[in-house]
Amino acid sequence: MILIVDDERAVLELVSSILAEADHQTLTFTHAEEALTWLESNEATLILSDVSMPTMSGFAFKQEFERRFPNRAIPFLFLSSHSEPQHIVHGLELGADDYLTKPAHPEVLRAKIGAVLRRQKRYSVPIFHGDIARFPFVKLLQFCETRGLTGEVAVQSGAFDTKVRFQGGELVYDERTEEALEQLIEMETGAFQIHALPVTFSEIEFASAVAEPTTAAASSPETKAMGQLSGVKVGARTFQIQTELVSHPESRVVTIVILDGRTVLKRVGDLLLPGSGSDPDSAPDYPGLIRTQHASVEAEVRDKLDQLGKQADKRSTQKVPSVKQQFNRLFEEGHDAYLSRDYEAALAVWEEANALDPDNKALSVNLDILKKKMASA
């Protein structure tokens, strides 16, 4: 079902008839608020929205949709009479998949929507989501690198909304990414989603560092369950908490806690079978189960924080920390110094970390941003 939102009924009728010729089912709304209410209990395949509308503009509609439904990966396009570059750029920066101007040629409109839907089929639903305050962007860079991510990370904080792309775990640079990186690294609040594309054979050479990625079939209902990421910080170290649905050999929710690159805690939920809810014909509430187990393990980590910290300190006194442990500590210390605006200290610490692991892509990105910032100061 394609949702069309426009305050002009003539436009709604025209666009609906154009899309009907391509066998698309459509549903029309004259107010964005009505579309949001419908989406609370229904699913759409694509949203096509005007920009200038009473009570809620198309731009505000896009932002409110992202806020209310962070787990949904529904393509969003603007169709507007505003053809000025600043309007188009703003719409795309908000995360829209395309921006079309009125009057749209029928064949072009059908072709554009067809292309977006085909591209959407290549993407899985978001595989992880989380809060920037609990899992900052620099940690996201590390996470995407170690998993060899090919896809994108969408980040939203207030009016700021952007997406950065990854290819085999490496950040893909373009003009928008360059402009957004400094703000992303300094960001202290916001939300993120990680989307993945299927990895092709041409990308294998970039993905040698993949850490056992979890993949579900696109037709499986479990693909609608987005994993959750967060971190519990202790000094310059972070306990990374990661919860996701693992489908093989059996469907279960699995949570792992990672410290200095090592798994220090693992929790495996009960076997998930269809009909485990109140409705015998229904599937389990995968997103709800993930949220519940993640919160439970996070609380457990916080409860055991003193004990885990003492154990880690005891180990560190018994033997020299590994290179990886030293690198992770320096990476965290550098980020703390960066956020406190002590750029000289951040540079010194990160350069020390770079000497330990000169091929670390996440650190290279941070160093580039830091050096540019210091040069322009």
Total count of domains within the chain: 3
Pairing status of strand 151-157 against strand 160-167:
antiparallel
SS3 149: coil
CB atoms within 10 A of CB 340: 10
Q: What is the pTM of this model?
A: 0.57
* Cβ neighbours, 10 Å, residue 374: 12
CATH number for position 39: 3.40.50.2300
Whether 55 and 135 map to the same domain: the answer is no
The HSE-up count of residue 310 (CA atoms within 13 Å, CB side) is 3
For residues 104 and 70, state if they share a domain.
yes
232 falls within a domain: no
For 32-85, the DSSP string reads HHHHHHHHTT---SEEEE-SS-SSS-HHHHHHHHHHH-TT----EEEEES---H
- Between the CA of residue 292 and those of 144, 194, 277, what are the distances in Å? 24, 20, 15
Task: Answer yes or no: is 40 within a domain.
Answer: yes
| Rounded CA separation 304/79 (Å) | 53
Domain of residue 345, residue span: 320-376
| Domain boundary, last residue among 61, 92, 122 | 122
Are residues 14 and 116 both part of a single domain? yes
- Residues 18, 52, single domain; the answer is yes
Residue 263 to residue 257: CA distance in whole angstroms: 6
CA 16 to chain centre: 32
Is 229 inside any structural domain? no
Cβ burial of 284 (10 Å; 0-12, 13-18, 19+) is: buried
φ, ψ for residue 91, nearest 5 deg = -60, -40
Contact yes or no for 4/26 (Cβ under 8 A): yes
Q: Where among 160, 184, 213 does a domain terminate? A: 213
Q: Are residues 179 and 134 both part of a single domain? A: yes
Same domain, 118 and 129: no
**What letter would DSSP give residue 263?**
E
Query: How many other CB atoms are there within 10 angstroms of residue 368's CB atom?
Result: 13
Residues 112, 155 within the same domain: no
Does residue 117 share a domain with residue 136? Answer: no
Residue 257 domain flag: no
CB 377 within 8 A of CB 341: no
- Asked, for residue 300, whether it belongs to a domain, the answer is no
> Domain check: are 56 and 46 in the same one?
yes
Structure tokens at 347: 């540079």
The answer as to whether 35 is a domain residue is yes
Q: What string of pLDDT tens digits covers the 377 residues of the chain? A: 899 999 999 999 999 999 998 889 999 999 999 999 999 888 888 999 999 998 899 999 998 998 888 667 788 999 998 889 899 988 888 888 899 988 888 898 999 898 888 776 655 556 788 999 999 998 899 888 888 787 888 898 887 888 888 887 888 887 777 778 888 988 989 999 888 765 443 333 333 333 333 333 333 434 456 789 998 887 767 889 999 888 766 788 999 998 877 788 889 988 877 665 555 556 678 888 999 999 999 998 888 876 655 665 555 555 566 788 888 888 888 888 888 889 999 999 999 998 988 888 888 888 988 888 888 76
Domain-embedded: residue 285: no
Domain boundary (98, 122, 146) is at 122
| 100 and 158 part of one domain | no
Residue 151 φ/ψ region, left for φ over 0, alpha for ψ in the -120 to 50 degree band, beta for the rest? left
Q: Is residue 341 part of a domain?
A: yes
For the stretch 138-158, pLDDT in tens is: 889 988 888 878 788 889 888
Answer yes or no: do 97 and 198 share one domain.
no
Q: Which two tokens stand for residue 264?
A: 């220090």
